[in-house]
Amino acid sequence: MWENRNNKVFKNKYVSVDQAEEDVKFRVVWWFKHYAKGSKDTVTAMLLNIKDLCIDVKPAIRTVSTAWLPPALITLKFNVYGSALGKPGQVGIGGVLRDFKGNVLCSFSLFIGVHESNTAEIKAIQKACALCVSNYSLIGRKIEVISDSNVAVSWVNNGGFGNINHVDTIYDIRSNLAILAATVVSFASRDSNHMADRLAKMGSSKMGEFVLWGGCLVL
């Protein structure tokens, strides 16, 4: 909080309340993970359950939203999201790969520069597909890459290239989908993409980049 205050006072750098809150959460979780003893949880799991790990927290009033639904027994779901702080603005992408039990097999949160929102969404899909190709055990698995952007999903699936600025990205996605064979890209509402949404916002706020495979951090 003091760092954010100094950025505002001395550098005229605005930090929203949401950004400041996520920054605090991220720093607390990383401190606890690396300096406190006893936690075997992943950083992602701790971020999502931080309120349950704290003392004297008043229960928040939550609105009803569409819950994440597990895939079929042999299918994996890779929810992805892109977050842009402005038009254009700082862009972060995030994603989480889960099995039918909800076990997190892979997660990522990355800052990719200054872009507009559609670039954020298509880059998130690209990263998920690239990660799947990079893991030999996922080749041939039935995977559904899910984005909440109808525009980005249509660019991947409609046979054209949608936007001249994204030709290389879309070509790369389709090349990886050809390797994965049983993987598809589909649309779902943002409410069911909550975890990927938070990871992307962490990326856009430059709160620490990571790719996590089964509890192993890859910087």
Amino acid present at 18: D
Q: Where are the beta strands (DSSP E) in the chain?
A: 75-86, 89-98, 104-115, 142-147, 184-187, 210-213, 216-218
Q: Are 157 and 125 in contact (CB under 8 A)?
A: no
User: Which is it for strands 210-213 and 184-187: parallel, antiparallel or unpaired?
Assistant: unpaired
- Parts of the chain with a pLDDT under 70: 30-31, 33-67, 161-162, 190-192, 215-219
Quote the crossing angle between the two packed helices 117-134 and 150-157, to the nearest 10°: 50
User: Which is it for strands 89-98 and 184-187: parallel, antiparallel or unpaired?
Assistant: unpaired
* Interatomic CA distance for residues 132 and 183, integer angstroms: 9
* Interatomic CA distance for residues 77 and 148, integer angstroms: 13
Give the pLDDT confidence score for residue 180 in this predicted structure.
93
Give the pLDDT confidence score for residue 40 in this predicted structure.
64
Superfamily of domain 75-218: Ribonuclease H-like superfamily/Ribonuclease H (3.30.420.10)
Alpha-carbon distances, residue 111 vs 11, 55, 143, 174 (angstroms): 21, 32, 24, 23
What would the DSSP string read from start to end of 167-179? HHHHHHHHHHHHH
3-state helix, strand, coil in the chain (%, to 5): 45, 25, 30
Where are the CATH 3.30.420.10 domain residues in the chain?
Answer: 75-218
Q: Are 170 and 122 in contact (CB under 8 A)?
A: yes
Burial class (CB in 10 A: 0-12, 13-18, 19+), 24: middle
Query: Which 3 state secondary structure label does DSSP give 123?
Result: helix
- Largest separation between any pair of C-alpha atoms in the chain: 54
Q: Are 8 and 14 in contact (CB under 8 A)?
A: yes
